[in-house]
Structure 1
Amino acid sequence: MKRNLLTLFIAAALLFSCSSDKDDSIQDNDIVGSWELTALEIDESTASDDEKYAQDILSFLSAINCSIMTITFNADLSVITENSGNYLEINVNPGGTGLDVPCPTQKDTSVDSYMYEGGVLTYIDENEVETTVNAEISGNTMRVNATELDFANFNDGGVLVFTRK
């Protein structure tokens, strides 16, 4: 289960840490700014145990103001991704009172490019495979359908929720 959670954070990081060779002078500026991963919304009635576990851990980290991933979209179509998901240490409190997940102090950072237009975020990964996902922005909240990311062991994937910093 721990491996699947890490896969979720790695896949989310890959979503926003890949480059695009496209030059598009028309862009929606709604996405420009820094966004922090704050929640995973799932359907409790159909969610897998891995999805519920990932949601619990992300909720726990958000409650202690621990940023597991920050993505900064710049107006020049560059994107900076800071991801701590690879450094999570997931434990259970010795007294059996719940999760013990310290906020990671290490992070991976990448600088790439993106294209965002009309609610569609497009990027090209290191293998030059183009991926497009819907990124719905409303005020200071961005929602990305995790189903479009095709996570292993996630039934419906849920929705990754990012909050503008």
Structure 2
Amino acid sequence: MKKNIALLFLTAFLIFSCSSDSSDDTDTPEGDTLVGTWVLTDLTVDSGVDDDDLDFAKEILLFLQGEGCDIVTFTFNESGTLMSDSKINNLSINVGVGGLDVPCPTESDEEDSLWVLDGDQLTISREGEEDQVITIQLEGNTLIIPGESVDENNYAGADAVFTKQ
């Protein structure tokens, strides 16, 4: 189960670790802009989906958020650069006598890439890798990435929710 949770966060991180040029505000949905810093704040699971791993991942994310721990942060710059900061690879879930212990990782992985937004299509690219295109929902201070974009076999029915800081 720990591997599935880490895989979800890692895949979300990798999807955003890539991109292609700069953003044009006229291309963004409803005139909103992606430029700014975004933090993973929630994992929404469709009420029709019965998946204990997704529910567990959501609980861990919400617990860490309550502790002031930002697991994944993306900074989309006007220049078309994307800086990602992820603590996922350093996340440890410990089971002890007192229950679960999920400390906020002190180390993180940082990556730079490029991005382009055309309507609701976010393209992210990194040198030497194939561009990735994701259909996103961007409304005000909320960015939603469908779980199917992360891994259609394991995360269908879930969405990664980022909040602009």
| TM-score bin (small chain) | 0.7 to 0.9
Q: Deviations over 1:84-122 (max 9, x none)?
A: 0000110235233xx311001000000110111212111
**Residue in 1 aligned with 2:65?**
62
Q: Say if 2:60 is the partner of 1:82.
A: no
Asked if the contact 1:151/1:157 (under 8 Å) is kept, the reply is no
Aligned-partner Cα distance in 1 for 2:77–2:88: 22
Q: What is the alpha-carbon root mean square deviation over aligned residues?
A: 2.0
Aligned-partner Cα distance in 2 for 1:109–1:25: 21
Aligned-partner Cα distance in 2 for 1:116–1:143: 14
Asked if the contact 2:83/2:110 (under 8 Å) is kept, the reply is yes
Matches within 5 A, 1:1-165: 1-20=1-20, 23=21, 26-27=24-25, 28=28, 30-96=33-99, 99-124=100-125, 128-150=129-151, 153-154=154-155, 156-165=156-165
Alpha-carbon distance change, 4 to 118 in structure 1, aligned in 2, over 3 angstroms: same
Asked if the contact 2:120/2:138 (under 8 Å) is kept, the reply is yes
Tell me the percent identity. 39
Aligned-partner Cα distance in 2 for 1:93–1:60: 17
Number of residue pairs matched by the alignment: 160
Deviation at 1:130, TM superposition (A): 2.6
Where structure 1 has 5 or more consecutive residues not aligned to the other structure, the ranges are none
TM-score calculated relative to the size of structure 2: 0.87
Where structure 2 has 5 or more consecutive residues not aligned to the other structure, the ranges are none
TM-score calculated relative to the size of structure 1: 0.87
Alpha-carbon distance change, 127 to 49 in structure 1, aligned in 2, over 3 angstroms: farther
